[in-house]
Structure 1
Amino acid sequence: MKRPIIEVKNLTHTYMKGTPMEHVALKGANLLVEQGECIAIIGHTGSGKSTLIQHLNGLMRPESGKVIIDGEDLSEKHVDLKKLRQKVGLVFQNPEDQIFEKIIGDDIAYGPFKMGLPLKEVRERVKWAMSVVGLDFEEMKDRQTFALSGGQKRKVALAGILALKPKILVLDEPTAGLDPRSRNELLEKINRLNKEEKLTVIFVSHNMEEVARLADRIYVMADGGIVLTGTPKEIFTDKKKLIRHQIGTPETVQILYRLSDLGYQVNTNAFSITEAAYEVMKVIAGNKEGSQYVQRI
């Protein structure tokens, strides 16, 4: 059996332990990720998502349980955290937490320089990473980071991680603050890195359209633990599970369930945009009043 690239076993974490403000953020969380997978972690605010992913590159060390990354147990004291963070790139939800150089090019180059790479390779990595996130190298490399928009700062933070050429990319709300066009472009590039270059991707998102579009598998978190896991089709097409765990759904799923509730024969498993559009068109073509109902959805 192939060894998973990430294995989290019964992970527990308590904030401010032993104080009146004590809060148990993780309660025996378990996670398995195969190399090359794209995994989405979803759940309501406070469910433990951010705490979990911060354990994946050693920002937090296991209090109880195991976190094993590419065969390396992070509970061991001898773990080289510098090398681990070159292997596991974590992009925070707030880009200001990762940008600290005044110039865009310098900020993205910081990690590769710290790796001791020659100047030519550093420049090539910066240029490549900027192209991946949609920043023009010649136009943007000498710009001041403080003058950037929120969306541009998010791109710079992601480029700085990609320049390290990590084996695993961990993203916390990767498209927050981006306009629709930039969001779509970034999702396409993340998908290409995952599918074509076999980069393992784990991302946290509240956007169910992104989850349905990118993820091979989904982990649903609640109250510090994993309560459900499965493919997007297994999660989003099971109405009972959606209601029981109060899981948000892509708009396509909402439309199909609404049509079903109105009495139309539609395939509620067809949650991709193309499949859902086909189901809606069948309703319109099959019933002269169908368009009126579709407009009400």
Structure 2
Amino acid sequence: MTISTHVTEFAGRPVVVFEPNVALPPDPGTVAWKLTGEYDTSTKDFNQLVEEFLDAVEPGAVQALIIGQWGSAYDAEAPVELLVGLAPRLTGLRALFLGEMTFEECEISWIKQTDVTPLLAAYPELETLRVRGSDGLAFNPTRHPALRELAFESGGLPATVVRGVAESDLPALTHLELWLGTDEYFGDAGVADLAPILAGTRLPELGYLGLRDAEIADQVAAALAGAPVVARLHTLDLSLGILSDEGAAALLAGQPLTHLRRLDLHHHFVSAELAARLVEELPGVEVDLSDAEEADEDGDRYVAVAE
């Protein structure tokens, strides 16, 4: 599976793609604005599109912003420097999605990212940051008192990024989503890199933990079986990965999960027997075991999103 459709809602707002000289919604704060070019859009042309957008709307009223194609995203890195420079004008920005593209525009593993940490320093009131792609991605330990949702979508998330998140001070964070991916696409993180998150000594408000699209799903499940953070969660999301009976058995043998509202395991390699046990032994929990997969003839299992 690849990412083949665009989001139609972001940060609780419908998405509107900005087009010059097209009628705009009366209140720019009620929609999530998307700025996107074509695969061959130049940096100059994308910057011009951004300026036209800021001339057309009241910049301080923009609350949610999506950056799609900034041009040749497989060649030119994400426009973080541009966005940092716009912070004095985008004073109302609360939600940012950087790299919202389908595979037809740019494969997720090709999206050129960069150090996104400066975005949090530039926007101290930002509540949501979602980033797609991990080629060149960096995230350094930081403190941000307002951030509530942080998500990194990738076919492989570098261990340095995972450690940067794990070592950050994010006291308001309620939603953390890490697509760990595979080592073929920069995903070299291991369970040890997640240790500060799993220990539950950080992220006091965390309710949703998504360790998704993971080639190491079974190892992650085994670590979660005794992880203190789980007791605080309402949602545990291990979807899109290669979870097998080994990981499912670890979850069943570990600490109680009956306090969860939702356990999301969709796109998995769990047998029907273990799947039935998960549902039976977690009454009252919404257990998503849809999209059951089977290993290929060589016994290989694949995450849902890689290239």
Q: Which has the higher contact order (CA 8 A, sep 6+)?
A: 1
TM-score when normalising by structure 2: 0.30
TM-score when normalising by structure 1: 0.31
